[in-house]
Amino acid sequence: MMKVVILAGGKGTRISEYTKSIPKPMVKIGSKPILEHIINYYMKYGFKDFLIAGGYKYSIIKSYFKKKKISANIRVINTGLETLTGSRLLKLKNILNDTFMLTYGDGLSNVNLKKLIKFHKANKKKITITAVHPPARFGELEIKNKLVTKFEEKPQLQKGWINGGFFVVEPEFLNFVGKKNVMLERSPLLKAVKTKNLSAFKHNGFWFCMDTLRDKRVLDKMIKDKKSPWIK
């Protein structure tokens, strides 16, 4: 079974209400850190070997999973405080010898990982990205004859595509990273695009990223209302 790399080293400044004392992936959604939710989701598909690319307050993550009884191999690796996402991944190059899964430590989804991997193998590119619909930041109104006939709070829009994480990656992709401190989303992925090595798996289902306190509250409410698609 493939290794799963989770990028979990950023400072999470947009949710500083929590991240002054803990790293962003350790912010709880319901009773568990969002990072644990992500690990549990992969484990449902049989994944058991996790590499957590830590940085900011990484020792908190390490201590938590050392005490937590989870039937998986979870290694928390310090990839540097100021290291950007692409360079964090490059620091794991020596232990990423085969195809591996990659995602961010703040995003939840109900993407079908079996179908994602099958898609990746069929397309034979160096990296496959899960394309998702962007989150809706405002309520949607339906208006007829100047009257609001429907008001709905939606977690996602149904138009457009963005990077949702949940990648499948060949180790050769790491050659696109280079020696400079770089974000994964900049030159590495742009090089993959230019060389026709980036394929997109379209996911029309649930996806949500916890960037702000508002986002955390939305996810907390999903847990409370028992409407959390990533747990089902």
Separation in Å, CA 37 to CA 191, 211, 214:
32, 16, 18
2-33 per-position pLDDT tens digit: 999 999 999 999 999 999 999 999 999 999 99
109-122 per-position pLDDT tens digit: 999 999 999 999 99
Task: Give which of 111, 69, 81 is closest to 200, Cα–Cα.
Answer: 111
Q: How many Å apart are CA 66 and CA 76, to the nearest integer?
A: 10
63-111 per-position pLDDT tens digit: 999 998 899 999 999 999 999 999 999 999 999 999 999 999 999 999 9
Task: Work out the mean pLDDT of the chain and round it to a whole number.
Answer: 91
Is residue 214 over pLDDT 80?
yes
131-187 per-position pLDDT tens digit: 998 776 655 666 677 666 666 655 555 567 899 999 999 999 999 998 899 999 999
pLDDT of residue 151: 63
pLDDT of residue 159: 62
Separation in Å, CA 167 to CA 74, 100, 127:
19, 8, 7
Domains delineated in the chain: 4-130+164-224 (3.90.550.10)
Q: How many Å apart are CA 88 and CA 92, to the nearest integer?
A: 7
Other residues' Cβ atoms within 10 Å of the Cβ of residue 176: 22
**Two structure tokens written together for 59:** 């020792």
Q: Which residues are CB-contacts of 186 (< 8 A; sequence separation ≥ 6)?
A: 86
